[in-house]
Chain A
Amino acid sequence: MMLTDLTIAEAREGLRAKDFSAVELTMAHLHAIEALNPRLNAYITVSHAKAVDQARAADAALAAGEARALTGIPLAIKDLFCTAGVRTTAGSKILGPFVPPYESTVTANLLRDGAVFLGKTNLDEFAMGSSNMTSAYGPVENPWKRRQDANAVLVPGGSSGGSAAAVAARLAMGATGTDTGGSIRQPASFCGLVGVKPTYGRCSRWGVVAFASSLDHPGPFSRTVRDGAILLGSMAGHDPKDSTSAPVAVPDFEAACARGVKGLRIGVPREYRSDGMPAEIDALWEQGVDWLRAAGAEIVDVSLPHTKYGLATYYIVAPAEASSNLSRYDGVRFGARETGEDLSDMYSRTRAEGFGAEVRRRVLIGTYVLSAGYYDAYYLRAQKIRALILKDFTDVFRGVDALLTPTAPSAAFAQGEKMDDPVQMYLNDLFTVPADLAGVPAASVPAGLDANGLPLGLQVIGKPFDEETVFAVSAALEQAAGFTALPAIRAGG
């Protein structure tokens, strides 16, 4: 077996048993990146020298018997997390020259636990997109291929498309992502990975380039549920630098994976059965229900009546927050600057040149819905509907422990598809957006393949701060699904 095929849990044991060194493990990944990244474009920046240094330090720690949770484990970091001394672009031209002098809390937590950072992964610009097609650094190729149409270049999903492609193609053992409307779970589903969006407040947002602050959730990508638990355990924790970070203890997520689902009540929300959903996704969902029932869970039919309004609500709240957050990119303190006739002209030219089409679209929508005369009709109404969506979850969780739904309404699509109409692209997040609006934890687990051999995920949604049950249910699904399919493009493949 190649080192790049190991899970994080396996690599951790191998490192401790001295079967291989952290430098060997990191080099195996750097070689894989060298071979495949020119094609996949999963990484925007590869920090080769820094990674080798970190791996050497990991070997020293291992030799001294000071191994921590992630000592020597090579990871990829979404290029939305500020990394001290390593360029952080957010997928945007406007941050092209930006080298943060500080480290985000989540990446600092991973470094504290001994992780090695291979580099910064590609994403939709400012995390706005569901295909990675809006990145100023080019699209990412999904390492999975259609059986019938192997030449088609598929998208990895988005916005964390580079992280998902990197982990799927074995260019990293795990990765960080952020999920604002589905940006971890949808690419996880498209690339056959586990993706976890924890409860809002579980992972600090400090040092993560802000898109929509009340919706941004950092979380992990991994190839197994247990690896996701290991990563989240390291990433999570209270941070006084983020006023919305929750002052609660981080439970042992890894232990929760072994709990099983016997006696759990699992809700199946009828509103997620959307018209026009492919039959095979519906069938996979039914299959997931059967797996959990067979594992001892009780299945309950439930209703989340405001589900269908989630996306439209999101497309008011998120652009409104984005228009405010992105006002900081004015060419004065950091980032790119265009010259102008005066200060105001400099701002306008810098922002016109620096932002891509989707970001501009959302900043304009956000500015409009917050502007005098429209605030009540759009923004305030959306906030009220968001309250109703949260109430749906609060009500339903009085009777069930977790919910099971599909993750995305389709498998990965090809580059160029769904590009003509922004709303068609937005519909990708139909099933993932409600958990962001309500802040509840959710995970996507690879559960099967479509007729074309592409991965499909199932989504588990849990109660606030009950990621443990999400991990327990996800692990049960993983075990029942026995998902062993591999992407066509991968290290050593």
Chain B
Amino acid sequence: MSLDPATIRRIASLARIRVEEHELEPLCHELNGILGWIEQLNEVDVTGVAPLTGATNMAPPGGAGHQTMAMRADVVTDGGYADKVLANAPERIGDFFAVPKVVE
């Protein structure tokens, strides 16, 4: 599997990162270098192996078996300070984040 400039353009658009035409070739080269190196994973036999999806499968305190992630009571524990939440907004209108016009 190797990336071509059209694929780079597609994933850059999925990632919402603007990539200029002249950057496509060098990016292709870099990313293919990394993906080529990653191909070594195809040597590993993963038949019947369950994927490790995250932290709860790792490091159970006190021994073997899998930890279960704790559930939290579904109650409001925080909030009520719109000014703090909006303090870092690049642009705000009243108590709202403002963005460029979406609908003409």
Contact, CB under 8 Å: A378 / B30: no
Contact, CB under 8 Å: B38 / A384: no
- Asked if B6 is at the interface (CB within 8 A of a chain A CB), the reply is no
The one of B11, B18, B50, B69 in contact with A351, judged by C-beta atoms closer than 8 angstroms, is B18
Q: Looking at A247, A336, A352, A355, which has the most chain B CB atoms within 10 Å of its CB?
A: A352
In the bound complex, CA of A457 to CA of B41 (Å): 29
Q: Closest CB of chain B to A327's CB: distance in Å?
A: 8
The one of B38, B44, B58 in contact with A390, judged by C-beta atoms closer than 8 angstroms, is B58
In the bound complex, CA of A323 to CA of B17 (Å): 11
Q: Of residues 49 to 104 in B, which have CB atoms within 8 Å of A's CB atoms?
A: 49-62, 64, 67, 69-70, 72, 84-85, 87-91, 97, 99-102
Contact, CB under 8 Å: A244 / B56: yes
The one of B64, B70, B101 in contact with A247, judged by C-beta atoms closer than 8 angstroms, is B70
Interface size class on chain A is 35 or more
Contact, CB under 8 Å: A367 / B14: yes
Contact, CB under 8 Å: A332 / B90: yes
The one of A213, A240, A363 in contact with B72, judged by C-beta atoms closer than 8 angstroms, is A240
Question: Which of A58-66, A221-229, A342-350 touches B?
Answer: A342-350
**Per-residue CB proximity of A188-231 to B under 8 Å, as 1/0?**
00000000000111000000000001100000000000000000
- List of B residues within 8 angstroms of A244 by Cβ: 54-56, 69
Q: Closest CB of chain A to B63's CB: distance in Å?
A: 9
- Contact A360:B3 (CB < 8 A) given known A343-B100, A422-B34: no
| Shortest Cβ distance from A202 into B: residue | B59
The one of A200, A313, A332, A348 in contact with B41, judged by C-beta atoms closer than 8 angstroms, is A313
Contact, CB under 8 Å: B58 / A337: no
- List of B residues within 8 angstroms of A345 by Cβ: 18
- Contact A422:B1 (CB < 8 A) given known A243-B72, A336-B90: no
| Shortest Cβ distance from A337 into B: residue | B90
Q: Of residues 28 to 42 in B, which have CB atoms within 8 Å of A's CB atoms?
A: 30-31, 33-35, 37-38, 40-42
- Asked if A486 is at the interface (CB within 8 A of a chain B CB), the reply is no
The one of B19, B38, B57, B72 in contact with A387, judged by C-beta atoms closer than 8 angstroms, is B57
- List of B residues within 8 angstroms of A332 by Cβ: 89-90, 97, 99
Contact, CB under 8 Å: A342 / B58: no
In the bound complex, CA of A439 to CA of B53 (Å): 13
- Asked if A111 is at the interface (CB within 8 A of a chain B CB), the reply is no
| Shortest Cβ distance from B26 into A: residue | A357
Spell out B's residues near A (CB within 8 Å).
1, 3, 7-8, 11-19, 27, 30-31, 33-35, 37-38, 40-42, 44, 46, 49-62, 64, 67, 69-70, 72, 84-85, 87-91, 97, 99-102
5 closest cross-chain pairs (CB), A and B: A439-B58, A383-B51, A464-B59, A334-B88, A337-B90
10 contacts between A and B (CB under 8 A): A101-B84, A200-B58, A309-B44, A315-B37, A332-B99, A340-B100, A351-B18, A381-B46, A384-B49, A385-B41
